[in-house]
Amino acid sequence: MHMTDSKHEQATKDYFGRSAVEKGGYYDASPDGPRKHSKWQRRIRQIAVRLLDGVVANLGASAESLIDVGCGIGDFAIENAKRYPNLKKVSGSDFSPETIAIARGNAANLSNVSFHEADILAMPFNDKEYDITLCINMLHHIRPAELGQALSELARITRHSLLVEIKNSGNFYYSSPKKHPGGITVYPTDVKTVSRNLGDAGFVLRRKRGIMLFDRLSPMIVLRYDRIGSSR
C-alpha cells in the first residue's frame, strides 16, 4: 500500500504492525483465541487455489514464477511454493515491515521463496517479472482514487495470469465503505470496475468465483484475469 500522510494509510499500517507483534500476523484472529485465519479468509484461499490450479495446468512448464502481493506473514506464498514445486521463484510483498520480518523467518529454509517490503502503487519489480500474480484479501485497503494505479501495477508485473479478490460492492454488506473492528476502513469495489481497469492494461476476465452460490451477490469474489494472447 502507498504510504502517504493520510489517516487511513497510517492507521492501516499501525494496525498491521500491532497485529504482527500481538497476534503473530494473524490479524483477523480473536485476541484471546488461537492464531489462525478467519473461516472467511480460509474459504477465499480455497477458492483462489482452485483457480490457481487451472492457471498452472494451462501454463504447464512455462509457469516458473509467482508473487503474492499483500502477502502478510507469507504463509499463502509458502503454501503455494510447496503445492507447485516446479515454480523456480516464489515471492511475496507487503507494506508492513513487521509482517515481512515474520514471513522471512517462516521461509528461512526455502531457497526459491523471498519476501519484499513494497508499495503496491510503485512496486520494485520489472515489467512481466512474474508469470502469476496473486492479490488476495488486500485490494479493499486501497482508497478508490488509488485503485486504478494499484491494478495497473499488478498488471505491469504480470506476464500471464492475475488473481485478485475483492469485497463486492454489489452485495448489501459491502454496499459502502465499512469500518473494520481494528479501526481501519474497508473500501469495496465491483467486478466491472476491476475489469475496466485491467482491460485497459491488456487483461481479460476468465473466471470468477464467490463464496456464495451466486457470484453477483457474494460479499467476496475471486477473479482470474489473463493477459490477452497468453495461454488459457
CB neighbour burial string for 169-178, b if at least 16 within 10 angstroms, e if fewer: bbbeebeeee
Domain annotation covers residue 1: no
Domain annotation covers residue 2: no
pLDDT tens for each residue of 79-91: 999 999 999 999 9
Q: Which of 206, 119, 118, 189 is nearest to 148 (CA)?
A: 189
Domain count, the chain: 1
Range of the domain at 108: 7-23+35-227
Domain annotation covers residue 12: yes
Stretch 31-38: mean pLDDT, rounded? 66
- Burial status of residue 127 (CB atoms within 10 A of its CB: 0-12, 13-18, 19 or more): exposed
Please tell me the predicted confidence (pLDDT) of residue 21: 66
- CA–CA distance, 150 with 2 (Å, rounded to integer): 9
Stretch 165-175: mean pLDDT, rounded? 92
Stretch 3-23: mean pLDDT, rounded? 68
pLDDT confidence band for 19 (50 / 70 / 90) = confident
pLDDT confidence band for 78 (50 / 70 / 90) = very high
CATH number at residue 93: 3.40.50.150
Of 64-68, 95-99, 192-196, the one with minimum mean pLDDT is 95-99
Give the number of C-alpha atoms closer than 13 A to the C-alpha of residue 161, restricted to the C-beta side: 25
Stretch 52-80: mean pLDDT, rounded? 95
Stretch 151-179: mean pLDDT, rounded? 94
Domain annotation covers residue 30: no
Domain annotation covers residue 193: yes
Stretch 131-145: mean pLDDT, rounded? 95
> Has residue 4 got a pLDDT over 50?
no
Stretch 192-209: mean pLDDT, rounded? 97
- CA–CA distance, 25 with 38 (Å, rounded to integer): 13
Q: Hey, which bits of the chain come out as E strands?
A: 65-69, 89-94, 113-117, 130-135, 158-167, 178-179, 185-186, 203-210, 220-227
> Has residue 228 got a pLDDT over 90?
yes
Please tell me the predicted confidence (pLDDT) of residue 3: 42
Please tell me the predicted confidence (pLDDT) of residue 81: 96
pLDDT confidence band for 5 (50 / 70 / 90) = very low
% of the chain with per-residue pLDDT over 90: 66
